[in-house]
Amino acid sequence: MGGRRRRAHDDPSIAGALFIDKPAGMTSHDVVSRVRRALGVRRVGHAGTLDPMATGVLVLGIGPTTRLLGIVGGHDKEYTATIRLGASTTTDDREGEIVSRAAKATIQSVTDAAIREAVTALTGTIDQRPSSVSAVKVDGKRSYQRVREGEDVVLPTRTVTIATFEIRGIDRGSEWIDVRVRVECSAGTYIRALARDLGIALGIGGHLTELRRTRSGGVRVDACGDLESIGVGSLISPADFARRELPAVEIDATDVPLVRNGGRCSADIPREPAVALIGPGEDLVAIVDASGASWSYLAVLPSLVGNGLAGKASREGKTEQADDQDDA
């Protein structure tokens, strides 16, 4: 039996963030389950779901650091993708069944200029309707679950921002056109919905065939590791994670207990919607909203042994022993 044996209670010193380059074929929850087993902890969450087909940046929080995910998960994202024009599918991606296919002559009549014009029209602040098989909840149940149960689900539109919709190449076949793109967008944007809407705009249908998240907030894919090599040594400390994503303010040791008990500190805090307050020794104390006349707490973090990384070397040695015992 491989992996660390899960404790009755999580080790409070195992905390921080993991940046995973998610492989294709796994759900985001599959990744969470693998990390739970690898680290021997239960409290693991992720920011920004990736479909099984997609690869790339998946940010995970371990232990108390999960409290940061709802704050940083709203940051913008970057993707590379391939959109296949000429056919529509039930899921707006390659994993669905084809429901309509344009005639060859119609596909071949679509010019590169027309594609570029349609892409431009989908750039900026737009109203987007998520795919009916997305994870959006409808009255407490995921939309895709309702579709599987036979319901005809039409989700309301939402306002999203497509900061960049860049065509990187156009490849043509007799029955299809593949458009390779790079997209920078706000959180909550569905790239497969962009593929669908591009196909609709051109009158030939479209769906997503490849998707890779290359950035989530301040985390780029080249900073991510693979699932096979994760361990306690892979953890990014809570303070380091917060610094990557948010403006940070150093607070004095005397202010740390005040902040953790709901008081105010003497530090000068910038008027931002989310600011990390970090005490001596890289102790992430709290995240506050300072955008108004007075600031409020978004999250208060407990004091962690070594801020999630102390004793790392000794724990890694114990991990290897525990793994050997489990395998035996």
In the set 10, 51, 255, 323, the catalytic residue is 51
DSSP annotation of 247 reads: -
The neighbouring-strand residues paired with 219 are 216
Query: How far apart, in whole angstroms, are the C-alpha atoms of residue 261 and residue 286?
Result: 11
Tell me how far the alpha carbon of residue 327 is from its chain's centroid: 33
* Three-state SS letters, 175-225: CCEEEEEEEEECCCCCHHHHHHHHHHHHCCCEEEEEEEEEEECCEEHHHCE
Angle between the 112-121 and 191-202 helix axes, to the nearest 10 degrees? Answer: 130
Query: How far apart, in whole angstroms, are the C-alpha atoms of residue 158 and residue 128?
Result: 5
Cβ neighbours of residue 69 closer than 8 Å, sequence gap 6 or more: 45, 46, 47, 59, 61
Identify the H or E element spanning 81. strand 77-85
- Residue 97 has a CB neighbour count (10 Å cut-off) of 8
- Residue 5 has a CB neighbour count (10 Å cut-off) of 11
Identify the H or E element spanning 315. helix 312-327
* Catalytic residue status for 255: no
* Alpha-carbon distances, residue 199 vs 18, 23, 248, 254, 296 (angstroms): 36, 27, 43, 59, 45
Cβ neighbours of residue 318 closer than 8 Å, sequence gap 6 or more: none
Active site residues: 51
